[in-house]
Amino acid sequence: MSKDIKSVEQSPKIHQRNDPQHVNDRTFFIDASNQSLTAIPLEIFTFTELEEVHLENNQIEEIPQEIQRLKNIRVLYLDKNNLRSLCPALGLLSSLERLDLSYNPIFSSSLLIVSFLHALRELRLYQTDLKEIPVVICKNLHHLELLGLTGNHLKCLPKEIVNQTKLREIYLKRNQFEVFPQELCVLYNLEIIDLDENKIGAIPEEIGHLTGLQKFYVASNNLPVLPASLCHCSQLSVLDLSHNLLHSIPKSLTELRKMTEIGLSGNRLEKVPYLICRWTSLHLLYLGNTGLHRLRGCFRRLVNLRCLDLSQNHLDHCPLQICALKNLEVLGLDDNKIGQLPSELGSLSKLKILGLTGNEFLSFPEEVLSLTSLEKLYIGQDQGFKLTYVPEHIRKLQSLKELYIENNHLEYLPVSLGSMPNLEVLDCRHNLLKQLPDAICQAQALKELLLEDNLLTHLPENLDSLVNLKVLTLMDNPMEEPPKEVCAEGNEVIWKYLKENRNRNIMATKIQAWWRGTMVRKGFGKFGELLKPRKKGKTSPKDKKGKKDVKGKPGKGKKK
């Protein structure tokens, strides 16, 4: 359940619009993204007033010379195409400020054209197979504020990068740096550095020169220690150190007064660094897989925490200090050794997401039912003890949208799931379910119902009434109604089968009702009597009636 501390870099691209934006009959914006285009439509070049063009996620192979007609263009997105080279005319776009060429197999020699775009402020070259940055780009582009180079094969930066004195954001994630690029330490306007997923073994003391640094991402590297000088980065608010080799954090970092997010998951801490309790402004704290057995008493000071990850540790109980964190919205306690939750858990009135997967609960922890704001509950038990039931009182969680109870020993589901109006995802995989309650058909918000690897043989006949259900998985069940071959065809075929089966049942009921009425009307007695087994030698009421009539007639050859 644990989440990365850092979201993907937010692109400033505006929302897609299908129609051009017109001002005084002039077109300034065109969105032709996601159209499976193999070439740029030449009609675009007739709109000479264009300032922003979106052509991303197509199959465009070249940029035509006509691009030079767009003399006013400021924003051009060509990412996720099949560009291998850039035409010289691209370098004539003197007003271009933002250019995205990411996810294209561009020849590095062709990038020299970019060096002529002197007004460029943002350049994105994610996953373009770069082994080095063309020096001429660093020499000629003096207004760059954002440089995106994630997902390439860079081992170092050219020394000319120091010319980028206006640079505010640099993204170097998933490259091959083994040494921290020292040149960054003289780019004093830097606010964001992303060096996640490299092989860096040390951060230089000179990092302290970047007093304007706000976000520093160095997760998944080989860092055994941090420089004490990091405390001079007084504007630092986000620091991701996850998955390194750290045993401690320098005490000097106590001076960082603006910290809101810190990631320490996957380090060898074994105890919570004391200085963390001093960062009372923290909103997100990731301490998963750090060898923790307990929390410090002062942990309760972190009253502004909204997200806390304590998964994959050695906690044998839920620390009571957590219940003092009234603003908590996300809590990850997965893969610990917790067997019981405190009754005070209900004080977390804002909690929306709770992860309890892989703990040692002997039964469903009913303390959870007091969390009325809960939207997602993870309680699958992929190891250790297995749950055998979910209480009917689960309906108290009326805000619940997603329930994950996979890998347990559940034989049935509570009927009350049908009275949970917001439930969208129900994951019951790898249990012992033999049937589903008919009431599940009333959970009209359901979008995903995951049921593989159970003991189901039948589905509720009205399951197709779940009009929002998009995902239904039934693999590895001994299905009979519908048969396995029908279930393998997907939702539409299953729905068709259920409808046809239901229509057959309705028709059979009508025929049976007609037959019953006919039998009664013809004097065969009440329907209940017709169903009673006849005793040997006994006659039906109809037979008796017939014999009575015969007695009143004269026999053959007799006179009256």
Residue 191 pLDDT greater than 90, yes or no: yes
Structure tokens belonging to residue 442? 């009333």
Q: What is the pLDDT of residues 429-482, one digit of tens each?
A: 999 999 999 999 999 999 999 999 999 999 998 999 999 999 999 999 999 989
pLDDT computed for residue 217 by the predictor: 98
Which region among 116-120, 235-239, 465-469, 500-504 has the lowest average model confidence (pLDDT)?
Answer: 500-504
Lowest mean pLDDT among 67-81, 223-237, 248-262, 508-522: 508-522
Least confident piece of the model among 452-456, 489-493, 514-518: 514-518
Nearest to residue 335, comparing CAs of 394, 297, 273, 292? 292
Dist. CA 143–CA 157, nearest whole Å: 18
Pick from 274, 236, 231, 277: which is nearest to 255 by CA?
A: 231
The pLDDT of residue 502: 75
Vertex 303 angle, CA 301 and 304, to 5°: 130
Mean pLDDT of 418-430: 97
Nearest 5°: phi and psi at 372? -70, -15
pLDDT score of 28: 92
Mean pLDDT of the region 202-210: 97
Mean pLDDT over each residue of the chain, to the nearest integer: 89
Q: Check residue 387 and give its pLDDT.
A: 95
8 A C-beta contact, residue 410 and residue 429: no
Using 50, 70 and 90 to split pLDDT, how confident is the model at 280?
Answer: very high
449's enclosing H/E stretch is strand 448-450
Q: Give the C-alpha distances (Å, rounded to integers) separating 53 from 343, 397, 478.
A: 57, 47, 54
Answer whether residue 105 shows pLDDT above 60: yes
Q: What is the mean pLDDT of residues 30-47?
A: 94
486: pLDDT strictly greater than 60: yes
Question: How confident is the model at residue 490, as a pLDDT?
Answer: 85
Mean pLDDT computed over 281-310: 97
152 vs 9: CA distance, rounded Å: 16
- Rounded Cα–Cα distance for residues 475 and 483 (Å): 12
Model pLDDT for residues 80-97, shown as the tens digit of each residue: 999 999 999 999 999 999
Please give the average per-residue pLDDT across 122-126, as a whole number.
98
Is pLDDT of 198 > 60?
yes
What pLDDT score does 549 carry? 45
Q: What secondary structure letter does DSSP report for 528?
A: H
Q: Please tell me the predicted confidence (pLDDT) of residue 500.
A: 81
Residue 556 pLDDT more than 70? no
Which of the residue ranges 198-207, 421-430, 519-528 would you say has the lowest mean pLDDT? 519-528
The pLDDT value given to residue 230: 97
For residues 298-319, average pLDDT: 96
Q: DSSP label at 244?
A: S
- According to the model, what pLDDT value does residue 1 have? 61
The model's pTM: 0.84
Can you tell me the mean pLDDT for 354-369?
Answer: 95
Indicate if the pLDDT at residue 397 is higher than 50.
Answer: yes
Mean pLDDT on 403-427: 97
Structure tokens at 516: 């019953």
Q: Predicted confidence band at 491 (pLDDT cuts at 50, 70, 90)? A: confident
Report residue 158's pLDDT band, with 50, 70 and 90 as the boundaries: very high
> How confident is the model at residue 40, as a pLDDT?
95
The better pLDDT of the pair 506, 382 is held by: 382
DSSP secondary structure string for all residues of 54-68: E--SS------GGGG
pLDDT tops 60 at residue 24: no
User: Percentage of the chain surpassing pLDDT 90?
Assistant: 80
Tokens of 75: 């924003």
User: What average pLDDT score do residues 33-57 get?
Assistant: 95
Pull the structure tokens for residue 446.
């359901």
Mean pLDDT for 508-536 is 63
How far apart, in whole angstroms, are the C-alpha atoms of residue 41 and residue 138? 32
Q: Can you give the pLDDT at residue 15?
A: 33
Between strands 330-332 and 307-309, the pairing is parallel
Token output for 289? 């897989």
The torsion defined by the Cα of 230, 233, 234 and 240, in degrees rounded to 10, comes to -70
| pLDDT, tens digit, 9 for 90 and up, residues 313-354 | 999 999 999 999 999 999 999 999 999 999 999 999 999 999
Compute the average pLDDT of residues 102-118.
Answer: 95
Higher pLDDT, 251 or 520: 251
- pLDDT of 382 reads 82
Residue type, 454: N
534 pLDDT tier (thresholds 50, 70, 90): low
pLDDT at 26: 73
Q: Cα(412)–Cα(368) distance, rounded to whole angstroms?
A: 20
- d(CA 387, CA 407) in angstroms, rounded, equals 9
